[in-house]
Amino acid sequence: MKEPTELSRRDVLEAAVVGGAVVACGVPTAARAAAATANLPQAKPDEIGIDPKRLQIAYDLMEKWTTGPNAPVPSGAILVGRNGKAVAPRFFGRQGPEADADPIRKDAMFYMASVTKPIIYTAAMLLVERGQLNLSDKVTRYVPEYTGGGKDDTQVLHLFTHTSGLPDELPNNAELRQQHAPLKKFVEGSIKAELLFPPGTKLSYQSSGTILTAEIIQRLSGKSIREFVQKEIIEPLGLKSTGLGSQGFAPERLVRTTVPDYQKNHKGDWNSTYWREFGSPAGGLFSTPEDYAVICALMLNGGKWGGVRLLSPATVRMMTSNRLDDLPDLPEPVRRTQPWGLGWRLNNLGTPESWGDLLDRRVFGHTGSAGNVVWMDPQTQGFCIVLTNYLRAKAPWRLVHLSNAIAAAFE
């Protein structure tokens, strides 16, 4: 892909935002315009090697599932792209799960849930590139109090690959949210949590490991995780409708999501002001299909987009290849069938966690419990973003059906 004149992170961060436009002294006009315009150029499907008739199958499925007051999927959006261009996003359904909710807005911002996690790990990889963080180090080098019960053997790499032995959610997760606890309390709980198994010997998805990674970022950078992500990722890429937490965005843009049973009549449910503004590193990002498409283009383009070199090609290669092969004590079937990169997951073919039957093991991405899936295919240079507000756990097959239809559309 041919890109505009490259603009460094420092140039962008030193730019002043005036009236919604980026002004940077001494920065070439072309690069300045690239930084100010985040959205990918739009193209018709057949212009970028996507069969429009096959793609329509995915649109029709989503239309069917989001139609009517008892629709199983209240809201949805689909955006696909290839080679740095995107097909215009399609929006479906209502702005919330209520039967009388307004039609979905074209500027709707979705709760990304765990699709937040790759952004946090990207932030950590920036520190790796700067010589401030080593993945092979013990976590105790950065969080000295993370000791006891086998934790002393935990490498930072284990936090990135969900092999740390930490639990997914903390035992008192619901109580902390009911109390509107700050991030500090979740960090303390993650530090004190008992391991489910010795680090590096098994794989078990762990949100608390992402929270601990965010704490490492905070300690090394001296910034809050929200500030670090804003200044180091969101602003350099010119993302205008993305935030770790919903502060600063009009509430009416936020899609209200279906909540799990344990969150019903709960003061800290996904739709509460507390949780929306909390900005959990494990699942607190809000974004639009157009904004997250920039992240996809960045990763498929070796870490550079819109004139900004955010990550090195070496970093992208490591983040998007199977790093479980680096763990000598992990069982071979796990390494082979449940591959993880650094923060990004690879498609788990032959398992219930597979994103699709037509996506091979080199495809990387992430899912979210609120009903989201994002994947990128280095072979076709294509990507898929499906955002919804239904509970993925209750019907994970819906996202797989959509992925299959979309994957079949790439020629």
The residues spanned by each domain of the chain are 1-37, 38-114+240-409, 119-221
Residues counted in the chain? 411
pLDDT one-digit tens code per residue, 131-166: 999 999 999 999 999 999 999 999 999 999 999 999
Confidence at residue 3, expressed as pLDDT on a 0 to 100 scale: 39
24 close to 16: Cβ distance less than 8 angstroms: yes
Confidence at residue 330, expressed as pLDDT on a 0 to 100 scale: 97
Residue percentage of the chain with pLDDT more than 70: 91
Q: Mean pLDDT over residues 203-226, rounded?
A: 98
pLDDT one-digit tens code per residue, 22-77: 333 333 333 333 444 579 999 999 999 999 999 999 999 999 999 988 899 999 99
Confidence at residue 264, expressed as pLDDT on a 0 to 100 scale: 83
Q: Mean pLDDT over residues 249-277, rounded?
A: 91
- pLDDT of 7 over the 90 cut: no
Query: Under CATH, to which class is 119-221 assigned?
Result: mainly alpha
State the DSSP H helix or E strand holding residue 1, giving kind and residue range, or none if neither: none
Confidence at residue 262, expressed as pLDDT on a 0 to 100 scale: 80
Confidence of residue 268 (pLDDT cuts 50, 70, 90): confident
Average pLDDT, the chain: 91
pLDDT one-digit tens code per residue, 336-383: 999 999 999 999 998 989 999 999 999 999 999 999 999 999 999 999
Confidence of residue 4 (pLDDT cuts 50, 70, 90): very low
Q: CA end-to-end span of the chain, whole Å?
A: 18
Confidence of residue 13 (pLDDT cuts 50, 70, 90): very low
- pLDDT of 192 over the 80 cut: yes
Q: Which two tokens stand for residue 206?
A: 């762990």
Q: Mean pLDDT over residues 102-122, rounded?
A: 98
Short-list 228, 208, 207, CA closest to 217: 228
Confidence at residue 260, expressed as pLDDT on a 0 to 100 scale: 85
Phi-psi region of 130 (alpha: psi -120 to 50; beta: other; left: phi over 0): alpha
Q: Mean pLDDT over residues 118-143, rounded?
A: 98
Confidence at residue 68, expressed as pLDDT on a 0 to 100 scale: 87
Confidence of residue 267 (pLDDT cuts 50, 70, 90): confident
Short-list 248, 157, 162, CA closest to 197: 162
Distance CA 28, CA 110 (A): 34
* Residue 170, burial from CB neighbour count under 10 angstroms (0-12, 13-18, 19+): buried
- pLDDT of 231 over the 60 cut: yes
pLDDT one-digit tens code per residue, 294-338: 999 999 999 999 899 999 999 999 999 999 999 999 999 999 999
Question: The domain 38-114+240-409 belongs to what CATH superfamily?
Answer: DD-peptidase/beta-lactamase superfamily (3.40.710.10)
356 close to 347: Cβ distance less than 8 angstroms: yes
